[in-house]
Structure 1
Amino acid sequence: MSAAAPADGARLIYLMGASGSGKDTLLRLMRTRLRGAEPVLVAHRYITRDSGDAEDSMRLTPEEFSRRATLGCFALHWASHGLQYGIGVEIDAWLGRGAAVIINGSRAHLEQAHARYPALTAVEVAVDPALLARRLAGRGRESAAQISDRLARAAQTFPVPDRCRLLQVSNNDQPETAAAALLDIARAKLDA
């Protein structure tokens, strides 16, 4: 790998988007386009629910999550939708080795992530609201009321810290196109 990345997270990509926007699909497709030992890594999330095969997540019980948070095992962690999410401190080692690291974050947690990694690049996955509603209904994970709540939250603006670079990737068409755009962002981080 190339020279060590600065501790400010200059090679960190903080991926955000409404639930159902296709973040996990984009991350999975992006990995299929990596060349050999190309140093682009996707961090898995620790989460207090079963994640299924479609996500890069590891399930922890709420008690184990709390224990790990207390021990400082998370670089970032947050609560959302009644669940706990965390990104392991291993990302600091990956960044230190010069890798571009992509994490599946939360729009509501962007300010805290930016405070820890002030040079990160935030990337929002944008999806048309009608398409988002169909995707949420199709995955069968939430009730109609929960889907309505998620759609309302998706339409809300979120705070973007001063000097935080925010890019947008549209995922309204073929997900392969959006995955390629995400990989281009990661590769640009390696060249910076």
Structure 2
Amino acid sequence: MTPTAPANGARLVYLMGASGSGKDTLLRLLRSGLRAGEPVLVAHRYITRDSGATEDALRLSVDEFARRAALGCFALRWASHGLHYGIGIEVDTWLEGGAAVIINGSRAHLGEAHRRYPMLTAVEITVEPGVLARRLAARGRENPAQIAERLRRATQDFPVPAGCRLLRVGNNGAPQAAAAALLDIARARLAP
């Protein structure tokens, strides 16, 4: 069962960035900057690992993830580093209701997201390699070899589909500035 995407996803912001670039921090700060009743929503992800307190995600077992995928419960889904990630079809309802929706996505999955939502705005969070290395080490999830591999991948180019709007937001300093820039991008999606 494949769900259909609403309209064209013009109010969808597809957030990407290397692991450790600060996406979850920016999304938390963005939420705190929303005005009362402002129709900007951040979609949670479904992930087949524990997400911890710093990430807006719901853990599913591999079997439960597969069951939900078979039932068409995901608008988008992908696999990375031996894990499965999904964005629920509820985002389509939010978009149809007039909200701007921010998805914490994957650079490698941008093509598929753009096929489903051809008018999405892709936003890449960029971080200098030295800053990224310190952040990855501080969070304690990876060993030095894994950190080196993440740093290598962070500097690789990724395919951007033809016609896809791609914006970049730097997050090397205080995250409040980058979060404000991201919120401005989401608010601009609401403009007629």
Aligned positions of 1:27-46 closer than 5 A: 27-46=27-46
Measured after TM superposition, the shift of residue 149 of structure 1 is 0.9
Distance in 2 (alpha carbons) for counterparts of 1:97 and 1:133: 40
Distance in 1 (alpha carbons) for counterparts of 2:26 and 2:72: 29
Tell me what 1:11 maps to: 11
Amino acid at match of 1:102: I
Tell me what 2:163 maps to: 163
Tell me what 2:126 maps to: 126
Distance in 2 (alpha carbons) for counterparts of 1:179 and 1:123: 12
Aligned residues: 188
Structure 1: which 5+ residue stretches go unaligned?
A: 1-5
Distance in 2 (alpha carbons) for counterparts of 1:134 and 1:178: 18
Tell me the TM-score normalized by structure 1. 0.97
Does residue 80 in structure 1 map to residue 80 in structure 2?
yes
Aligned positions of 1:15-164 closer than 5 A: 15-164=15-164
Q: Percent identity?
A: 73
For residue 49 of structure 1, give the secondary structure of its aligned residue in structure 2. coil
Tell me the TM-score normalized by structure 2. 0.97
Distance in 1 (alpha carbons) for counterparts of 2:21 and 2:87: 20
CA RMSD between the two structures = 1.0
Measured after TM superposition, the shift of residue 26 of structure 1 is 0.2
Distance in 2 (alpha carbons) for counterparts of 1:7 and 1:92: 9
Tell me what 1:3 maps to: none
Q: Cα deviations across residues 106-147 of structure 1 (Å, max 9, x unaligned)?
A: 000000000000000000000000100000000000111111
Structure 2: which 5+ residue stretches go unaligned?
A: 1-5
